[in-house]
Amino acid sequence: MTKKFETKVLHSVKKQKGQIKSKVSPIYQTSAFAFDDLDELEGFYQGEGNYLYSRVSNPNTDELASAVAALEGAPAGVASSSGMSAILAGILCVAKTGDHVLAADDLYGGSYHLLKEELNDLGISTTFVSFSNPQEMENAIQENTKLLYTESVTNPLLRVEDLDGIVKFAKNHNLYTLVDNTFATPYHCKPYTLGVDLVVHSATKYIGGHSDITAGVLVGKENLIAKAKSKVVNFGANVSPFEAWLTSRGLKTLALRMKAQSFNAKGLAEALSLNKHVEKVYYPFEQASEGFGAMVSIVLHKNIDVNQFFKALSWVKIVPTLAGVETTVSHPLTTSHRALPQEVCESLGITKQLVRISVGIEHLDDITDEFESAIEQAKL
CA distance 84 to 182: 12
Strands 100-104 and 145-151: parallel
CATH architecture of residue range(s) 254-377: Alpha-Beta Complex (3.90)
Strand partners, 100: 125, 145
pLDDT tops 60 at residue 1: no
182 vs 50, higher pLDDT: 182
pLDDT tens for 242-280 read 999 999 999 999 999 999 999 999 999 999 999 999 999
pLDDT tops 80 at residue 13: no
Q: Which residues make Cβ contacts (< 8 Å) with residue 334, sequence separation at least 6? A: none
Does this model's pTM top 0.85? My answer is yes
Q: Looking at residues 64-80, what average pLDDT do you find?
A: 97
Q: What is the identity of the amino acid at 272? A: L
pLDDT tens for 326-372 read 999 999 999 888 878 888 888 888 899 999 999 999 999 999 999 99
CA distance 125 to 116: 7
DSSP state of 340: S
Q: Where are the domains of the chain?
A: 31-251, 254-377
The answer to whether the CB of 360 falls within 8 A of the CB of 264 is yes
Query: 31-251 and 254-377 share one CATH topology?
Result: no
Q: What is the identity of the amino acid at 135? A: Q
Domain over 31-251 is classified CATH 3.40.640.10: yes
Confidence of residue 319 (pLDDT cuts 50, 70, 90): very high
Q: Which residues make Cβ contacts (< 8 Å) with residue 354, sequence separation at least 6? A: 156, 297, 298, 299, 331, 332, 333
